[in-house]
């Protein structure tokens, strides 16, 4: 069969991305799991046009909740063209019946490894079932992602996964439900993927730009793990194996790594340039209700200092909309994140995803804004009734925080401070990411405010006049 794996996308900024930095790993991983007898392509709607006239027999859709309206529009388009449509990923896993009701022929619930070949066999034989339940398998014998299938528009290409799962259980996070337990790939397999040279030489066009880009693509390794450092013995073994590879690498980790000097030293020695911490809030009560007990406000600065002592940049996620948050608290985060030393902030709005304790609580308290479609679940919009303020006030406070944190003054002061304490790769990262967001802020290209009706997307005009807005009602409306 011919298979197109599509990752639907709805633009999250008013005028799109100026640069597309890092691709998801999901599509190229699923492509690698696809038996070799099938021809497979990977299309990221974020950068690639949708091939409506494809010769594919089967369309595999992988999407987050915030992109579900577009995924369902595409399912309908491809269904009309006689294709078999299979859905999977974090949204379809929790809303399988909804996906089936929106023109998907089958849904893979959970992880693909144990069932994907079986789904394809069934599809080829015309006996596709509606639901397949992917069991969390061991991570041995995972093939190298199909980097060769990535669009050259992504600046970083080496995305990789060494572990799955996270031992914590934060109330707003669906990782423990999506990837239960904590599983690790053999270190040798991870090293194999880090060193796989599959980047297209056609990108190398004898110009300084492409030579730089090609070098950067080989140099940088971005771990898309939920929490790479959770098992210390494992991560230390991995980092020892990475030292000779001389890469620059980045990952997500929890703040407790700051207590492990040996680990921090190994991170430095193996070329770590950036670590992402989910700091989330400066409110003790918020951290408590979020079950984020491993974050201690009084130690934020000391933890970040420890990472900076190794020249590693700190990226950090913050969430606006916890019950204790006032608009003033939210906007004040811009200064507070600078004070504790964050190099690159990521600023989200609290979002109740299915599969989380937060969702169950909001549902029980009747706080889900049921008239708002899935596009409100993109991390930058409000999908629930906040406690201390109303939904519009929360949105405005988030946008004020975003504009403040990425103002020219804040961007410059973060990068300037980095010059004194970051290693070369980390400084490069801080410059690139702050530049990326700072340029957006300068152009007024802020996160997009979703409406009950999403405006026409670039690809819609290529379709047959079907309007996204007819799909975007929240399924809870019908309950």
Residue 256 CB, nearest approach to ligand SF4 (Å): 10
Report the residue from 163, 295, 378, 430 that binds ligand B12 according to the rule CB under 6 A.
Answer: 378
Q: Which is nearer to ligand B12, 66 or 69 (CB)?
A: 66
Partner that binds at residue 254, options ligand SF4, ligand B12, none, CB closer than 5 to 8 Å by kind: ligand SF4
Q: Which residues bind ligand SF4 (CB under 6 A)?
A: 166, 168-170, 173, 175-176, 226-227, 254, 278
- Identify residues 194-253 at the interface with ligand B12 (CB under 6 A): 224, 226
Q: Is 86 in the site for ligand B12 (CB under 6 A)?
A: yes
User: What DSSP assignment string belongs to 107-137?
Assistant: EEEE-STTTHHHHHHHHHHT---SEEEE---
Q: Which does 139 bind (CB under 5 to 8 A by kind): ligand SF4, ligand B12, none?
A: none
Which of 343, 349, 341 lies closest to 435, judged by CA? 343
x/- contact string, 91-110, with ligand B12 (CB under 6 A)? x----------------x--
Q: How far apart are CA 270 and CA 311, in angstroms?
A: 12
- Residue 58 interacting entry, from ligand B12, ligand SF4, none, C-beta within 5 to 8 Å by type: none
Minimum Å distance from CB 170 to ligand SF4?
A: 3
Q: How far apart are CA 258 and CA 256, in angstroms?
A: 5
The two structure tokens encoding residue 256: 């407790």
In the stretch 18-47, what mask flags binding to ligand B12 with x, by CB under 6 A? Answer: ------xxx--xx-----------------
Q: Are 321 and 280 in contact (CB under 8 A)?
A: no
Minimum gap (Å) between residue 86 Cβ and ligand B12: 5
Closest separation in Å from C-beta 103 to ligand B12: 14
Q: From the CB of 112, what's the least distance to ligand SF4, in Å? A: 20
- Nearest approach, Cβ of residue 107 and ligand B12 (Å): 8
Q: Which C-beta is closer to ligand SF4: that of 285 or that of 392?
A: 285
Residues 6+ apart with CB under 8 A from 442: 408
- Confirm or reject binding of residue 60 to ligand B12 (CB under 6 A): yes
What's the min distance (Å) between Cβ of 81 and ligand SF4?
38
Contacts of 243 (CB under 8 A, 6+ apart): 266, 269, 270, 271
Q: Are 9 and 67 in contact (CB under 8 A)?
A: yes
Alpha helices in 61-103 (DSSP H): 68-80, 90-94, 96-101
Question: Considering the rule CB under 6 A, would residue 277 count as an interface residue with ligand B12?
Answer: no
Q: Are the beta carbons of 110 and 136 closer than 8 angstroms? A: yes
Closer to ligand SF4 by CB, 170 or 242: give it: 170
157 contact choice in ligand SF4, ligand B12, none (CB below 5 to 8 Å, kind-dependent): none
Pairing of strands 248-253, 220-223: parallel
Long-range contacts at 138-141 (CB < 8 A, ≥ 24 apart) = 138/183, 139/163, 139/164, 139/183, 139/184, 139/185, 139/186, 140/185, 140/186, 140/189, 141/189
179 touches ligand B12 (CB under 6 A)? yes
H or E element in which residue 249 lies:
strand 248-253
Residues 242, 270: contact at Cβ < 8 Å? yes
**Residues at the interface with ligand B12 (CB under 6 A):** 24-26, 29-30, 60-62, 64-66, 86-91, 108, 111-113, 116, 161, 173-175, 178-179, 224, 226, 348, 353, 378-379
């Amino acid at each position: 069969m011919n298979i197109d794996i599509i990752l639907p996308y709805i633009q999250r900024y008013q005028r799109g991305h100026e640069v597309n930095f890092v691709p998801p790993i999901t599509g190229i991983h699923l492509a690698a799991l696809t038996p070799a007898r099938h021809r497979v392509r990977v299309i990221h709607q974020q950068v690639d046009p949708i091939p409506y006239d494809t010769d594919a027999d089967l369309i595999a859709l992988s999407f987050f909740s915030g992109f579900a309206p577009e995924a369902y529009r595409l399912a309908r388009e491809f269904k009309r063209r006689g294709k078999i449509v299979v859905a999977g990923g974090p949204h379809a896993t929790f809303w399988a019946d909804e996906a089936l009701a929106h023109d998907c022929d089958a849904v893979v619930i959970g992880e693909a490894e144990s069932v994907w070949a079986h789904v394809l066999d069934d599809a080829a034989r015309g006996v596709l079932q509606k639901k397949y339940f992917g069991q969390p398998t061991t991570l041995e014998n995972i093939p190298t992602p199909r980097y060769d299938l990535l669009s050259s528009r992504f600046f970083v290409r080496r995305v990789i996964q060494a572990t799955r799962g996270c031992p914590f259980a934060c109330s707003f996070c669906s990782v423990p439900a999506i990837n239960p337990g904590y599983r690790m790939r053999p270190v040798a397999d991870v090293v194999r993927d880090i060193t796989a040279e599959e980047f297209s030489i056609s990108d190398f066009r004898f110009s300084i730009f492409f030579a730089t880009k090609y070098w950067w693509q080989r140099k940088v390794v971005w771990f898309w793990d939920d929490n790479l450092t959770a098992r210390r013995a494992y991560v230390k073994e991995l980092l020892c194996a990475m030292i000779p590879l001389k890469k620059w690498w980045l990952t997500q980790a929890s703040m407790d790594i700051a207590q492990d000097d040996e680990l921090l030293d190994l991170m430095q020695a193996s070329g770590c340039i950036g670590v992402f911490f989910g700091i989330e809030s400066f409110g003790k009560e918020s951290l408590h209700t979020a079950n984020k007990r491993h974050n201690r406000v009084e130690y934020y600065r000391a933890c970040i200092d420890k990472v900076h002592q190794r020249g590693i940049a700190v990226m950090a996620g913050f969430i606006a909309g916890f019950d204790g948050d006032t608009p003033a608290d939210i906007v004040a985060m811009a200064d507070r994140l600078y004070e504790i030393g964050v190099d690159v902030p990521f600023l989200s709005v609290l979002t109740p995803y299915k599969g989380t304790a937060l969702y169950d609580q909001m549902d029980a308290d009747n706080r889900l804004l049921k008239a708002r479609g899935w596009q409100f679940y993109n991390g930058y919009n409000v999908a629930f009734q906040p406690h201390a303020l109303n939904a519009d006030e929360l949105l405005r406070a988030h946008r004020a925080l975003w504009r403040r944190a990425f103002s020219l003054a804040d961007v410059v002061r973060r990068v300037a401070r980095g010059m004194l304490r970051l290693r070369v790769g980390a400084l490069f990262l801080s410059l690139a990411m702050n530049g990326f967001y700072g340029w957006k802020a300068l152009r007024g290209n802020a996160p997009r405010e979703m409406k009950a009706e999403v405006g026409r997307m670039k690809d819609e005009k290529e379709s047959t006049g079907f309007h996204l807005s007819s799909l975007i009602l929240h399924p809870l409306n019908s309950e």
